[in-house]
Amino acid sequence: MTPVEETLKRIQSHKGVIGTMVVNAEGIPIRTTLDNSTTVQYAGLLHHLTMKAKSTVRDIDPQNDLTFLRIRSKKHEIMVAPDKEYLLIVIQNPCE
């Protein structure tokens, strides 16, 4: 297995992680460990939010770029790592 796949596997099996998914540049999920409807919902919503965040960061300073986005809610934490073409989304329950 490629090191990337191993890393993703490790992340998924880490303590508190509820689900991981990989979304492409158009907001279409490629890989997911959650059920379809949830995945589609997360993918669509987070894609827009990430684009907005990225646009914000870059508008302020074009030489800057978004590396990570974290949304902490009451129940869990959504983490988004944007890449050039993909989006890696992990939902974790941090407090245990």
Examine residue 28 and tell whether it contacts another protein (CB under 8 A): no
> Are 80 and 91 spatial neighbours (Cβ–Cβ below 8 Å)?
no
Q: Closest approach of Cβ 72 to another protein, in Å?
A: 9
Which of 36, 63, 73, 74 lies at the binding interface for another protein (CB under 8 A)? 63
In whole angstroms, the minimum distance from the beta carbon of 74 to another protein comes to 15
Can you name the residues that pair with 19 across neighbouring β-strands?
91
Applying CB under 8 A, the residues found at the interface with another protein are: 2-5, 7-8, 10-11, 14-17, 22, 24, 30-31, 55, 58-59, 62-63, 67-68, 70, 77, 79, 81-88, 90, 92, 94
